[in-house]
Structure 1
Amino acid sequence: MTTTASPTTPSAPATSPSARQPAIALITGGSRGLGRSAALHVARSGDDVILTYRSQASEAQAVVAEIEALGRRAVALPLDVAATATFADFAARVRGVLASHWQRERFDFLVNNAGSGAHAGFMETTEEQFDQMVAIHLKGTFFLTQQLLPLMNDGGRILNVSSGLTRFALPGYAAYAAMKGGVEVLTRYLAKELGARGIAVNTLAPGAIETDFGGGAVRDNAQINGFIAGQTALGRVGLPDDIGGAVAALLQPGTGWVNAQRIEASGGMFV
Structure 2
Amino acid sequence: MSIIIITGGSRGIGASAAKQCAAKGMGIILTYNSHPAGAESVVRQINAVGGKAVALALDVTKVRSFAAFRDDVAKALKSTWGKDHIDGLVNNAGYGNFNAIEAVSEAEFDGLLNVHLKGPFFLTQALLPLMAAGGHIINMTSATTRVATPGAAPYAAFKGGLEVLTRYMAKEFGPRKIRANAISPGAIRTDMTSKAFDQSPEFVTLLAGQTALGKIGEADDVGRVIASLLSEDNGWVNAQTIEVGGGYNI
Give TM-score, length-normalised by structure 1: 0.90
1:108 to 2:115 alignment:
no
Cα deviation for residue 208 of structure 1 reads 1.2
Provide the C-alpha distance between the structure 1 equivalents of 2:199 and 2:189, rounded to a whole number of angstroms: 8
Report if aligned partners of 2:11, 2:191 keep a CA contact under 8 Å in 1: no
Judged with a 3 Å threshold, the aligned counterparts in structure 2 of structure 1 residues 237 and 220 are, in CA distance, closer, same or farther, namely: farther
**Letter of the structure 2 residue corresponding to residue 125 of structure 1:** V
Provide the C-alpha distance between the structure 2 equivalents of 1:156 and 1:259, rounded to a whole number of angstroms: 11
Cα deviation for residue 71 of structure 1 reads 0.8
Provide the C-alpha distance between the structure 2 equivalents of 1:200 and 1:217, rounded to a whole number of angstroms: 35
Give 1:216-231 correspondences, 5 Å limit. 216-231=195-210
Provide the C-alpha distance between the structure 2 equivalents of 1:114 and 1:204, rounded to a whole number of angstroms: 13
SS in 2 for 1:155: strand
Provide the C-alpha distance between the structure 1 equivalents of 2:123 and 2:194, rounded to a whole number of angstroms: 26
Aligned to 1:8: none
Report if aligned partners of 1:188, 1:201 keep a CA contact under 8 Å in 2: yes
Provide the C-alpha distance between the structure 2 equivalents of 1:220 and 1:106, rounded to a whole number of angstroms: 44
1:32 to 2:32 alignment:
no
Cα deviation for residue 221 of structure 1 reads 2.3
Where structure 2 has 5 or more consecutive residues not aligned to the other structure, the ranges are: none
Runs of 4+ with >6 A deviation: none
Provide the C-alpha distance between the structure 2 equivalents of 1:238 and 1:173, rounded to a whole number of angstroms: 19
Provide the C-alpha distance between the structure 1 equivalents of 2:146 and 2:65, rounded to a whole number of angstroms: 33
Aligned to 1:14: none
1:167 to 2:155 alignment:
no
Q: CA RMSD in A?
A: 1.0
Aligned to 1:263: 242
Give 1:51-66 correspondences, 5 Å limit. 51-66=30-45
SS in 2 for 1:157: strand
Aligned to 1:17: none
Aligned to 1:241: 220
Give TM-score, length-normalised by structure 2: 0.98
Cα deviation for residue 45 of structure 1 reads 1.1
Q: Deviations over 1:98-137 (max 9, x none)?
A: 0111110001010000011110001001111001111111
Report if aligned partners of 1:210, 1:219 keep a CA contact under 8 Å in 2: no
Cα deviation for residue 219 of structure 1 reads 5.0
Cα deviation for residue 186 of structure 1 reads 0.3
Provide the C-alpha distance between the structure 2 equivalents of 1:67 and 1:42, rounded to a whole number of angstroms: 10
1:208 to 2:159 alignment:
no
**Letter of the structure 2 residue corresponding to residue 206 of structure 1:** P
Where structure 1 has 5 or more consecutive residues not aligned to the other structure, the ranges are: 1-21
**Letter of the structure 2 residue corresponding to residue 76 of structure 1:** A
**Greater Rg, structure 1 or structure 2?**
1
Q: Deviations over 1:241-264 (max 9, x none)?
A: 000001001011021110000000
SS in 2 for 1:146: helix
1:140 to 2:107 alignment:
no
Cα deviation for residue 212 of structure 1 reads 2.4
Report if aligned partners of 1:116, 1:214 keep a CA contact under 8 Å in 2: no
Q: How many equivalent pairs are there?
A: 250
Provide the C-alpha distance between the structure 2 equivalents of 1:57 and 1:264, rounded to a whole number of angstroms: 29
Cα deviation for residue 59 of structure 1 reads 1.0
1:179 to 2:164 alignment:
no
SS in 1 for 2:188: coil
Aligned to 1:154: 133
Provide the C-alpha distance between the structure 1 equivalents of 2:201 and 2:61, rounded to a whole number of angstroms: 32
Provide the C-alpha distance between the structure 2 equivalents of 1:222 and 1:105, rounded to a whole number of angstroms: 48
